[in-house]
Amino acid sequence: MNYMVAIQALDAMFRCVVIVITVKIQEVRQQSIIMVTIQAFNVMFSYVVITVKCKIHTTRRKKHNMVAVQAFNV
């Protein structure tokens, strides 16, 4: 079970990285893309925190908030 949970956590982390990069590209902030991506890969176990940051950055757009919540739940 622990093995399966670890796989799910990694899967959610990578999905979160994609979400963050997509959001940052839409906001046209290249420095933020680099910073958040480095944080995501260096701190693998804090993917939940990164997802929360993604939600905070996209409070203006409900669609992105929904995607971030899905990544958080999975």
Question: Rounded to whole angstroms, how far apart are CA atoms 33 and 20?
Answer: 8
Identify which of 65, 39, 56, 51 has the alpha carbon closest to the alpha carbon of residue 12. Answer: 51
Query: Which residues have a Cβ under 8 Å from the Cβ of 11 and sit 6 or more positions away?
Result: 74
Torsion of CA 45, 14, 4, 68, to 10 degrees: 80
Quote the pTM value.
0.20
Mean pLDDT in residue range 50-69? 52
pLDDT on residue 73:
45
Sign (positive/negative) of CA torsion 65, 27, 54, 60?
negative
Question: 1-59: per-residue pLDDT in tens?
Answer: 455 555 556 666 666 666 555 555 555 444 554 445 545 455 444 455 555 555 555 55
- pLDDT in the model for residue 11: 62
Per the listing, tokens 């893309």 go with 33
Distance in angstroms (rounded) separating the CA atoms of residues 2 and 5: 5
Please state the domain extents for the chain.
2-73
